[in-house]
Amino acid sequence: MEDEDSVGMNLWQKTHTTLEMIKWEHSIFALPFALTGAVLAASGWPTAWQLFWIVACMVLARSAGMAFNRWADADLDAANPRTKMRAIPAGQLSRSFVGWFTLLAAVLFIGATSQLNRLTLYLSPFVLAVLLLYSYTKRFTRWSHLVLGLSLGIAPSAAWIAIRGSLDPRIIVLTAIVLCWVGGFDMLYSCQDAAHDREVGLNSIPATFGIAGAFWTARFLHILMLGLSAWLIHLFGLGTVAWIGIVIVALLLAYEHSIVSPTDLSRMNAAFFTMNGVISIVFFVFVAIDVVMRHASDVTH
């Protein structure tokens, strides 16, 4: 009996360590954009059933992608002073355990998509393919940041499909918004590894164009994100509340860029984790309020 308790505790400890390793709580980055896609698709609030399974799909897909990334990059992480204490290189988890965790999350993700509609289920392998491919892109392209952006950007289009059972070209603009947003801040975050990446032959914008070049590219992508956000508001006929949200997002992005610079990356974690979580929530809340208000007004009239 003690052996069974020991095995159970060990499994729980490994699972807990895995969840810490993949930073599952950072699902907050993309989840609000997925919910934005769902609210736009439903022209109001989706049902509780739909919301539950959309959130489940989002968390499971990201967990599979992040765990696979740690599995695929274990040797690279071990060679990088910044990442050598991650769970696999540090010996806290075996690659085998993380591999099985990835497989379980992927299977549960596909199962969760089946609870929404047939098209969501059919497209689930494509979503997983994009998520898993990202882990290898730094080996052959400097634009891996945009693949990461696409990995998260799929979420709002997937949520639209989950609600409607079809894809509307308008929601692809929201996917492009997330792609630019994530691609930009990942370029900034990768500046911490620019010298190491060049040394070991990994590709990234900072390694290719330098840290200053990465900052300018990230600024361009974030300006493009704001332009696409304005287009999204036009396409869906949103109003003042949504515009206020975009203005706040613009100010938050400006602040994010102001607290880091090519010569000072010391506040990168604050810019990357804290500010981006706030940005995604603000975007969702203001767009959702606008959509719900307009829906209520249409019903009243």
What is the number of residues in the chain? 301
Per-residue pLDDT reduced to its tens digit, 37-87: 999 999 889 999 999 999 999 999 999 999 999 999 999 888 888 888 888
What pLDDT does 77 receive? Answer: 87
What pLDDT does 301 receive? Answer: 54
What pLDDT does 298 receive? Answer: 63
Which residues span the domain enclosing 72? 2-300
Residues of the chain with confidence (pLDDT) below 50? 1-2, 4-9
What pLDDT does 87 receive? Answer: 85
What pLDDT does 20 receive? Answer: 76
Number of domains in the chain: 1
Task: Name the pTM for this structure.
Answer: 0.91
CATH of the domain at 36: 1.10.357.140
